[in-house]
Amino acid sequence: MSIGNFSIAFILVRNLAIFVLFMKNKENIITSTSSKGAAIFKKMIEDKKAIREHIQKGGKIADIKEKFNFVKPLSITGK
């Protein structure tokens, strides 16, 4: 391989590495602008976390039913 070919190969590999790093970072870009529905998605995550922690500590849903809007929108008995 001539020096010229080696240089071209080196530049290509380097650019590829830069591109891969760029794409990887792009997925993790942290932005200060939140989505329009951020408040509701945040509430969903917080509710989910609080309920899971309560249950995993052995708590009953009945104990926290006033704090969250639990519903049963389906019936397994067909009623």
Partner 1 sequence: MLSPYQLLENDEYSFEFITDAGIIYKIYFLDYSYMFQDYQHITCPVFSFNIDAIEGDPDLAPGDDRVGATISSVMNLFFTKIDNVAVYVCDSTDARQYARKRKFDIWFYSYNDGSLIKEDGLAIVEGTAIYNSMLLHKSNTQLTEIILAYKELNERAGDK
Compare residues 1 and 76 and give the one whose CB is closer to partner 1: 76
Please give the Cα distance from 75 to 59 (Å, whole number): 24
Q: Give min distance, CB of 5 to partner 1, in A.
A: 40
Phi-psi region of 78 (alpha: psi -120 to 50; beta: other; left: phi over 0): left
List residues near partner 1 by CB under 8 A: 30-38, 40-42, 44-45, 47-49, 51-52, 55-56, 60-62, 65, 68-76
Please give the Cα distance from 28 to 71 (Å, whole number): 35
Q: Give min distance, CB of 21 to partner 1, in A.
A: 19
